[in-house]
């Protein structure tokens, strides 16, 4: 672990969680002309990084939190939010069209950035998945490319000297892993509750450095490997009905719902 501990937090600008998503008339994508904000799992990642920084400060250990986002110029809004939450500096990898930017490309960009950076990261904390594509791939692919250990779906993170202890939420319950730093962590919902961006911090954020680079600078081809052919709304849910008897229920299950 270098001094200071460097935590990189990739963040993604997505359609806001509260927005009702609609398919566009061409049926090729969703309507992106709506409110956007930081992916909720990425908010949790930023929050965790800032909390580690605050905890280590008490131990007189320095931590640097770097927020990174790959996307169009609008991604800078998301980076400003990260800075307002407590990140120290931000990096914007500007891409012309981020609707086709896929997890593998993002993982490659992050790996190339890591290789290029003089001040190497010790930890990547990522959201477990983005709420627009629900891919749940970037963290894992990045771990593969960097050949670092990965601790995904974290619900608790502790750093003691060189060791990283992470509790993961799995189907059977909770699993605790211990590994060495550098490593990848992806955040799950119960890891923490992100803070609000306070005014003093929003003001401080304006003075924090935000650097812009391009995929060309990093030598990465971000063209998509997967093509979306069609986007459709799910079938409309039909109203439920009341039945008068068990026989009627069986009849309907057999002949209408066709599940028997």
Partner 1 sequence: MTRSTLNTFRLYATGKKTVPLTVEKYPGFQRDDKYKKLTSTDVDYFRSIVGDTGLIYQNEDDLEAFNTDWMNKFRGQSQLVLKPKTTQQVSDILKYCNEQKIAVVPQGGNTGLVGGSVPLFDEVVVSLQGMNQIRSFDDVSGILTADAGCVLESLDNWLGEKGFMMPLDLGAKGSCHIGGNLATNAGGLRLVRYGSLHGTVLGIEAVLPDGTILDSMSTLRKDNTGYDLKQLFIGSEGTIGIITGISILTPRRPSAIHVALLGVDSFEDVQKAFKQSRIQLSEILSAFEYYDNNAFQIFKKHNDARSIMDNEYPFYVLIETSGSNKDHDEEKLNTYLEDMMTDGIAQDGVVAQDESQSKRIWGVREGLTEALGKEPAVYKYDISMPVSKINDCVLEMRDHLEQGGAFGKPDSPVIDVVGYGHVGDGNLHLNIPAKSADPRVLELIEPFLFEWVSKQKGSISAEHGLGISKNQYLSYSKSESMIKLMKTFKSVLDPNGILNPYKYLPTK
- Binders of partner 1: how many residues, by CB under 8 A? 19
Q: Which two tokens stand for residue 153?
A: 């779906």
In the region spanning residues 62 to 91, those forming contacts with partner 1, defined by CB under 8 A, are 81, 84
Exactly one of 43, 64, 88, 122 binds partner 1 (CB under 8 A); that residue is 43
Strands 163-170 and 173-180: antiparallel
Tell me the HSE value of 96 on the side-chain side, using a 13 A CA sphere.
Answer: 5
CB of 96 to partner 1, least distance (A): 20
Q: Which is nearer to partner 1, 180 or 204 (CB)?
A: 204
Instruction: Report whether 46 contacts 10 (CB < 8 A).
Output: no
The one segment of 35-43, 92-100, 106-114, 222-230 that binds partner 1 by CB under 8 A: 35-43
Q: Which is nearer to partner 1, 16 or 132 (CB)?
A: 16
Instruction: Report whether 139 contacts 186 (CB < 8 A).
Output: yes
The one segment of 37-45, 89-97, 215-223, 240-248 that binds partner 1 by CB under 8 A: 37-45
Q: Which is nearer to partner 1, 81 or 150 (CB)?
A: 81
Q: CB atoms < 10 A from the CB of 215, how many?
A: 20
What residues are paired with 180 via a beta bridge? Answer: 163
Exactly one of 23, 30, 37, 131 binds partner 1 (CB under 8 A); that residue is 37
Alpha-carbon Rg for the chain, nearest whole angstrom, is 22
Instruction: Report whether 91 contacts 66 (CB < 8 A).
Output: yes
Closest CA to 108 of 144, 150, 142: 142
Q: Nearest 5 degrees, angle CA 246-CA 251-CA 254? A: 125
In the region spanning residues 178 to 237, those forming contacts with partner 1, defined by CB under 8 A, are 193, 196-200, 202-203
Tell me the HSE value of 19 on the side-chain side, using a 13 A CA sphere.
Answer: 18
Q: Rounded to 5 degrees, what are φ and ψ at 100?
A: -105, 10
The one segment of 10-18, 124-132, 134-142, 236-244 that binds partner 1 by CB under 8 A: 10-18
Contact track, partner 1, 167-186, x by CB under 8 A: --------------------
Q: Is 18 in the site for partner 1 (CB under 8 A)?
A: yes
Q: Which is nearer to partner 1, 19 or 210 (CB)?
A: 19
User: Where do contacts with partner 1 occur on this chain (CB under 8 A)?
Assistant: 16-19, 35, 37-38, 40, 43, 81, 84, 193, 196-200, 202-203
């Amino acid at each position: 672990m270098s001094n200071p501990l460097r935590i990189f937090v990739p963040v993604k600008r997505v359609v806001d969680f509260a927005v009702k998503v609609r398919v566009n008339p061409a049926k090729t994508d969703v309507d992106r002309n709506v409110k956007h904000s930081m992916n909720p799992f990425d908010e949790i990642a930023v929050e965790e990084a800032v909390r580690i920084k605050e905890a280590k400060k008490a131990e007189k250990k320095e931590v640097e939190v770097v927020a990174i986002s790959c996307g169009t110029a609008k991604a800078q809004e998301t980076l400003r939010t990260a800075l307002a939450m407590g990140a120290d500096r931000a990096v914007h990898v500007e891409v012309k069209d981020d609707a086709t930017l896929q997890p593998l490309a993002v993982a490659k960009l992050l790996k190339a950035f890591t290789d290029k950076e003089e001040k190497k990261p010790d930890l990547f904390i990522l959201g477990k998945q983005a709420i627009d594509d629900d891919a749940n791939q970037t963290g894992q692919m990045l771990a593969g490319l960097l050949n670092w250990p990965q601790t995904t779906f974290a619900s608790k993170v502790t750093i003691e000297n060189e060791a990283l202890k992470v509790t993961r939420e799995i189907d059977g319950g909770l699993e605790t892993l211990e590994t060495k730093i550098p490593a990848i962590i992806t955040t799950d919902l119960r890891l923490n509750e992100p803070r609000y961006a306070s005014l003093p911090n929003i003001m401080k954020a304006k003075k924090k450095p935000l650097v812009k680079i391009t995929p060309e600078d990093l030598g990465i081809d971000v063209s998509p490997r997967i093509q979306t052919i069609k986007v459709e709304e799910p079938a409309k849910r039909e109203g439920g009905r009341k039945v008068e008897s068990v026989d009627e229920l069986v009849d309907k299950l057999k002949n209408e719902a066709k599940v028997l």
